[in-house]
Structure 1
């Protein structure tokens, strides 16, 4: 109604990518409009990212996971579409979103977030953020490698954890970050996690 008219344009564009029913998936035509807007107004990227994050956080709290998946998909698409100096601003919201999903207790969201992190790690940023830290991701992906969930989901989470760790290493090495991934504080988590899975896979094959 009247309130919607006074909402900032970027919020209206973000709202419009969500369907009435989550099972209908991302509204592709409206996603194209949001992407076009982001490309033509890159200074709005950080606000768009923050608003998507807020929506997803609210939907996680309400256990409306279908909408969370759509929000993450939108984030992925914007990340891949926008190669601007302002991408750095968006990346902060993007990583905050990934972290939020990883912190959830839903295995599906954890796996989805890992896939998004891998996509992010494959992007070469023009100006990597040298102050960015990946401690949380190293810890979380390492923990996922040791997942004790029920068997049908356990292996999926462990594989996601391994892929996540690979992505963190790739990202930190390619960006030549201040934070050295080879430091014991990180390697003491990464190496045992990988060895654990090598041993486990050997055990299951016997």
Structure 2
């Protein structure tokens, strides 16, 4: 019997039982050897980004994250890696989906390991803010503001917001020739600064947002927009 089974694997003329074909297919499929969390993440992306996040697969990823919170940091890092590649390839539709997925996971998963996920989340925000696409910058700011409203169970001793203060302040002074887009970017910058202040004030363990190094950027940015709104 064993000889027949081995012969079957090499002789295409001999029909294989269904279960044998299934085993061979799984063993020869590279995706079968990928970690489960990666397969779950990959499955939330549609073939066409215009179709949006695959909701039923997102529910599976969320359930897995809640059941295995120790995997949150790996899930976050993998989402960040995928989004980074898509940004470089200018596949912004997939970037939007990745950001939406991270937003949902951030809200759904309250665990001690959430702090590790937040690091990947903030890396994603920074990556989008550094892009030259204004729409991605606005999207990133919206996600940051939602994050700022979340109370974390585990304090962060080393997290810093210097980049976000500088970037949001810069957005407040945007001079895009498209007035409508310029106003949206400036408003996003203001909302981002409000988010930074809210997040840092609510946590005594992070840097002091009232230090001159931050206030020298925040106050002029807000005054600039107050003056130009008249």
Question: What band does the TM-score fall into relative to the shorter chain?
Answer: over 0.9
CA-to-aligned-CA distance 1:79-134 (integer Å, 9 cap, x gap): 00000000000000000000000000101100000010011100001122021000
CA distance in 2: counterparts of 1:194 and 1:11, whole angstroms: 42
CA distance in 1: counterparts of 2:206 and 2:115, whole angstroms: 17
CA distance in 2: counterparts of 1:105 and 1:152, whole angstroms: 17
Aligned: 1:200 with 2:228: yes
CA-to-aligned-CA distance 1:56-85 (integer Å, 9 cap, x gap): 000000000000000000000000000000
Aligned: 1:160 with 2:188: yes
Task: Write out aligned runs for 1:155-194 (5 A).
Answer: 155-194=183-222
CA distance in 2: counterparts of 1:124 and 1:23, whole angstroms: 33
What's the C-alpha RMSD, in Å, of the aligned pairs?
A: 0.7
CA distance in 2: counterparts of 1:90 and 1:127, whole angstroms: 12
Report the alpha carbon displacement of residue 178 of structure 1 after superposing the two structures with TM.
Answer: 3.5
* Structure-2-length-normalised TM-score: 0.87
Of 117, 125, 128, the match for 1:98? 125
Report the alpha carbon displacement of residue 177 of structure 1 after superposing the two structures with TM.
Answer: 2.9
* 2:85 corresponding residue in structure 1: 58
* 1:33 corresponding residue in structure 2: 60
Of 31, 35, 40, the match for 1:13? 40
| Pairs aligned (count) | 202
Report the alpha carbon displacement of residue 6 of structure 1 after superposing the two structures with TM.
Answer: 0.5
Structure 1 residue ranges without an equivalent (≥5): none
CA-to-aligned-CA distance 1:161-185 (integer Å, 9 cap, x gap): 0000000000000011331000000
Report the alpha carbon displacement of residue 7 of structure 1 after superposing the two structures with TM.
Answer: 0.5
Structure 2 residue ranges without an equivalent (≥5): 1-27
* Structure-1-length-normalised TM-score: 0.97
The structure with more radius of gyration: 2
Report the alpha carbon displacement of residue 145 of structure 1 after superposing the two structures with TM.
Answer: 0.2
Report the alpha carbon displacement of residue 149 of structure 1 after superposing the two structures with TM.
Answer: 1.1
Conserved 8 A contact 2:169-2:189? yes
